[in-house]
Structures are given as structure tokens and as C-alpha cells.
Structure 1
């Protein structure tokens, strides 16, 4: 039986640019680059993200009743800092980044990487 999630995988058009984007904007660490895919991750997380170079016009974003949903979500300690950083980088955001906390008391921010993969950050 399974024990934990070891990795998730998302498609990217340019592997070098995508890896740099995740390192620069989300403070990810590059663990390995194999030419066709790279392994990145958050410093405090054992789950890896595999970035796969692909010429297909796909992303990991999916829809539920026409609403886009992310395939990867992660926690942040300082949502305001992330919002500032992404805004300065010109990152496409879905929804209101300054929205008040939801019912569970957490703030959420949905945004897209340069390849159209939607991600969601949330406070603890």
C-alpha cells in the first residue's frame, strides 16, 4: 500500500525557463535537470514536482463546471509577500488576491505559471 505522495508532474514548454520561474517566484529548489524533465521542490517538503518539457498544448489545469482548478496547492506563511512578489513579476492571478479569509479562516490565491498550469497558495 502507498505511504506518501513522492511527486506530481506538470507539463512545460521550456524546461529551463519553467525551472527558473519556480525557483525565482516560489523559492523552489532545483534537485536535478535531466534535459527532458527537471525535479524541483519546496525546501521544507519531501514531495517533488517534476517539470516535463512538452510540445503539446496542455496544462495541468482542469475545469469543474467551467471553473478552472489547480492540480497543485501549497501553504505559505506570508500571503501578502507572495501576492507582492507575483504582482511584481506580472504573474496572471485568478480571482481577488486581497480577498478576506474564507470560512475555514484561510486565504487562498490561485495563479498561473507561464505555461498555464494553475497553482493555489493558501495560508495555514
Structure 2
């Protein structure tokens, strides 16, 4: 490992929820995450979720009493807090929509070099599903 590096990658992404068990169920069902661990920290529960790719950041659901779904404001409009790579963006859009997830229309950038759509999780957090010709390839994790 190169010890001269200050940072090597994004390690975790924190996503709030007021109902951790239903959010765990939502993320494992719709985004195919795997629950790795659930524990109490500073008075509320945290769930560690992994995506199937070996080098992906962990998603940490953080239970809170504060019902404030996350989004960024971009020029006065909501903008997602996270983007998830999808190897089959059209299939993912169709699957989420059929699964009852609130999804927005599929968008294309340029001449189809990138495609994306926005959606909300069960806690109302504003998220993005994305695909592009520039997405890095990664290995899958061993099945645990």
C-alpha cells in the first residue's frame, strides 16, 4: 500500500432513516444490498450494507428521530445525494418501477454516453441510478 496517499477511496455513505428495519428490507429488496451488520451507536441503530462489487463503498443506514430526507438543492431544485452505478440502467428502471419505487423518467446525456434516473428510497432520500461508458469495472465480492 502506498503510505504517501492521504485518502484512497470513499469508505462509507451515511443515509438517514426513521425506521431502520423497513429501510434494511427496502435496500436489500430493491438495490440488492446485503446486510453485513446491525448495531447500536450513540443511542440509535446503524446498519452496514454492502453492494456486490468488491471495491464499492459501504452504505450505512443511520436511524434517527429526525424525519428529514436528504437531497441537495441545485439551482432551487432537488438533486440526489448519491448515485448508484447500474450495468443495466433500463432494466433497473423497469424493475424498480414494477416494484413500486417512486422513479422519475430515464434521461440520456450526449449521444447516449450516459443515462440516469432519480428515485426515492423508503425514507424519502433522493437518489440517482446511473450508467455511463466511463464507469469503472470491478470484481464481485465472494458470496458470504
Q: Do these two structures clear the TM 0.5 threshold for a shared fold by scoring above it?
A: yes
Larger Rg over CA atoms:
2
Residue of structure 1 in register with 2:16 after alignment: 11
Match of 1:29 among 31, 34, 38: 34
Residue of structure 2 in register with 1:112 after alignment: 120
Show structure 1 runs of 4+ deviating over 3 A.
Answer: none
Match of 1:38 among 47, 68, 91: 47
Instruction: Compute the TM-score of the two structures, normalised by the length of structure 2.
Output: 0.78
Alignment of 1:1-124 (within 5 A): 1-35=6-40, 36-44=45-53, 45-94=55-104, 96-97=105-106, 99=107, 101-103=108-110, 105-124=113-132
**In 1: Cα distance, 2:70 partner to 2:57 partner:** 17
Task: Flag structure 2 segments of 5+ consecutive residues without an equivalent.
Answer: 1-5, 133-144
Task: Flag structure 1 segments of 5+ consecutive residues without an equivalent.
Answer: none
**In 2: Cα distance, 1:86 partner to 1:42 partner:** 16
Instruction: Compute the TM-score of the two structures, normalised by the length of structure 1.
Output: 0.89
| Number of residue equivalences | 121
**In 2: Cα distance, 1:3 partner to 1:123 partner:** 23
- CA gap of 1:46–1:102, structure 2 versus 1, over 3 A, is closer
